[in-house]
Every structure is written in structure tokens, then in C-alpha cells.
């Protein structure tokens, strides 16, 4: 494994076998202070640019994903300070959501507030059996500010999102799976392994087609159906110019489905 890490950094990008792991490392609870938010944006940009990163895993370690924003830091901010900061907060999380490659969240322990919002930026979420997720900002007299009101409602529907946001309650992994907040519940000790396996499998896939699929779904959901169909149509036709399309079709005809080795 190769590791890109700055001394004392609260997050880092670790790259191995085509998978880049964005690893939070701010003991004890991976609280997402401003410095960590800005670092997440930088790491998302690096994961986007690097050709040796074909898929990404978001991970907070064996004990906790991220327990939310740094409340002590936020407590010192007044209205003017947060007006200036709120855009940077959202931009950091949006940079993760816009990584044009498959992204899995490996959720252990708590994923609350900003931690839950970070998991929402992934394409798929693997949660340990003991994981707990939620948006407890209402208990502070606030609402989610890093995309929670928007991404959560799009993922689980407005009624379930409002229930979580209005009450601030924390839900265990099993309930999170029932409402669609997480996609896979696995033993706690296997969370990263399972998420990394999913990412590694896709890292061997056709990179441009995967990007086309992700952008067609994500941007299509933000537009009307005709715009979404036009986006899909343009990507679909454009992929006929790629070498991976030639490899995939030739392999299908000569060897059967699922055996192509993409470049």
C-alpha cells in the first residue's frame, strides 16, 4: 500500500490496487472540524485526478466513522462567521459526492450529523452491525448544514428524512437498512473488507463507462426526465468511441459475458 499522508493530518488518502481510501484520523470521534472539512475537499480532488485511483472507500477506522462536526469549534462561531463558512462546508462534502468514480462508505460505530452526511455522499454504504446513524442537529437548535436535508430526503424519501431530522434520533444499522439509509449490514470486523472488495471489483471495470453511469444517475436526478434522457443518450453514444467498449463487446462475443479485462 502506498500512503499519501502529511504529518499530523486528520485525514489522508491511501492507495492500493486501484482503490483509494479516504481515511479519517482525528481521535477519538473523528469530529469534522474546519481543517478536516477542507482536507476532505482536497483529498476528493486528488482522488478524482489520480489515474491510479479507480474507486474510493470512505473510512473512519474500526471504532467510529465520524461523530459529526466539532461542536466546540462551532460554538465559538456567530452568524456572520457561519454565513462565510457554510458554503465551504457544503463544498467540501459536494467534492466527495462528485468524485466521478465509484465510492463506498465503510461505516463503523457512529455516523452522526456531519458523519452521516459524509456517508450520504457515497454511492453505496456498508455498515457494521453495531453502527448507529442519524442527524441530531435539531437537538442543538440547528438543521443539517452539509447536505443532509437534501441528500437524505433523496435517498430515503421526504417522510423518513423528516422523521430523522425532526426528532434527531439515532437509528441502528438494521433500521437504517430497512429505510434505505445503508445498503449492506455486515459484521463490524468486516466493514472495511466488504467495502474495499466492492470498490476493488469496480476498479477493474471500464472507468469511463462507470463515470458515465454515475453522472447520468446523479445529474439526471437533479433534472427533469427529458434532460436526464438527453444526458444518458449523449454518454451512451460517446462510449462507442472508447477502447473499453471494443474490448467489452469483443469479449462478450468471443468468451461470453463478464470476462472482459478492461484497460
CATH architecture of 11-203: Alpha-Beta Complex (3.90)
Catalytic residue, from 117, 119, 127, 146: name it: 117
pLDDT at position 225: 96
Residue 226: left if φ>0, alpha if ψ -120 to 50, beta else—which one? Answer: alpha
pLDDT (average), residues 58-67: 96
For residue 176, give the nearest of 156, 162, 198 by alpha carbon: 156
pTM given for the model: 0.93
* Residues 66-75 pLDDT 10s: 998 889 999 9
> Is 69 labeled as catalytic in the residue annotation?
yes
Write phi, then psi, for 40 (nearest 5 degrees).
-60, -40
Query: CB of 36 within 8 A of CB of 8?
Result: no
pLDDT (average), residues 11-24: 97
Question: Do the first three CATH levels of 11-203 and 206-255 match, i.e. the same topology?
Answer: no
pLDDT at position 259: 85
For residue 112, give the nearest of 95, 129, 132, 93 by alpha carbon: 132
Catalytic residue, from 131, 137, 205, 260: name it: 137
Query: CB of 181 within 8 A of CB of 156?
Result: yes
pLDDT at position 82: 93
Mean pLDDT of all residues belonging to the chain: 95
Catalytic residue, from 44, 69, 95, 111: name it: 69
Q: What are the C-alpha distances in Å from 16 to residues 2, 52, 198? A: 6, 8, 14
Query: CB of 200 within 8 A of CB of 19?
Result: yes
5 pLDDT above the threshold of 50 = no
Band (263; pLDDT cuts 50, 70, 90): confident
Rounded Cα distance between 99 and 199, Å, is 13
pLDDT (average), residues 178-195: 98
* Residues 225-254 pLDDT 10s: 999 999 999 999 999 999 999 999 999 999
Catalytic residue, from 114, 128, 134, 205: name it: 114
Min mean pLDDT across 51-60, 189-198, 251-260 is at 251-260
206-255 CATH fold: Lyase 2-enoyl-coa Hydratase; Chain  A, domain 2 (1.10.12)
Question: Domain spans of the chain?
Answer: 11-203, 206-255
pLDDT at position 69: 86
Amino acid at each position: 500500500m502506498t500512503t499519501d499522508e502529511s504529518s499530523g493530518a486528520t485525514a489522508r488518502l491511501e492507495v492500493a490496487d486501484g482503490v483509494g481510501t479516504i481515511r479519517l484520523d482525528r481521535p477519538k470521534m473523528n469530529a469534522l472540524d474546519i481543517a478536516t472539512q477542507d482536507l476532505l475537499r482536497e483529498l476528493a480532488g486528488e482522488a478524482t485526478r489520480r489515474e491510479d485511483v479507480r474507486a474510493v472507500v470512505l473510512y473512519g477506522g474500526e471504532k467510529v466513522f465520524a461523530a459529526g462536526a466539532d461542536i466546540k469549534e462551532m460554538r465559538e462561531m456567530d452568524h456572520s462567521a457561519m454565513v462565510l463558512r457554510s458554503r465551504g462546508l457544503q463544498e467540501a462534502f459536494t467534492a466527495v459526492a462528485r468524485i466521478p468514480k465509484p465510492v463506498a462508505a465503510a461505516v463503523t460505530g457512529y455516523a452522526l450529523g456531519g458523519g452521516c452526511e459524509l456517508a450520504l455522499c457515497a454511492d453505496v454504504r456498508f455498515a457494521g452491525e453495531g453502527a448507529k446513524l442519524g442527524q441530531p442537529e435539531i437537538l442543538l437548535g440547528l438543521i443539517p448544514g452539509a447536505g443532509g436535508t437534501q441528500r437524505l430526503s433523496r435517498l430515503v424519501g421526504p417522510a423518513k428524512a423528516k422523521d430523522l431530522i425532526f426528532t434527531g434520533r439515532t437509528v441502528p444499522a438494521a433500521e437504517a437498512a430497512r429505510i434505505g439509509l445503508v445498503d449492506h449490514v455486515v459484521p463490524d470486523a468486516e466493514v472495511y473488507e466488504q467495502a474495499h472488495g466492492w470498490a476493488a471489483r469496480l476498479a477493474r471495470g471500464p472507468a469511463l463507462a462507470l463515470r458515465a453511469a454515475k453522472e447520468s444517475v446523479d445529474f439526471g436526478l437533479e433534472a427533469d426526465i427529458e434532460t436526464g434522457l438527453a444526458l444518458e443518450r449523449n454518454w451512451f453514444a460517446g462510449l462507442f468511441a472508447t477502447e473499453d467498449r471494443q474490448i467489452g463487446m469483443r469479449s462478450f462475443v468471443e468468451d461470453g459475458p463478464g470476462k472482459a479485462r478492461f484497460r
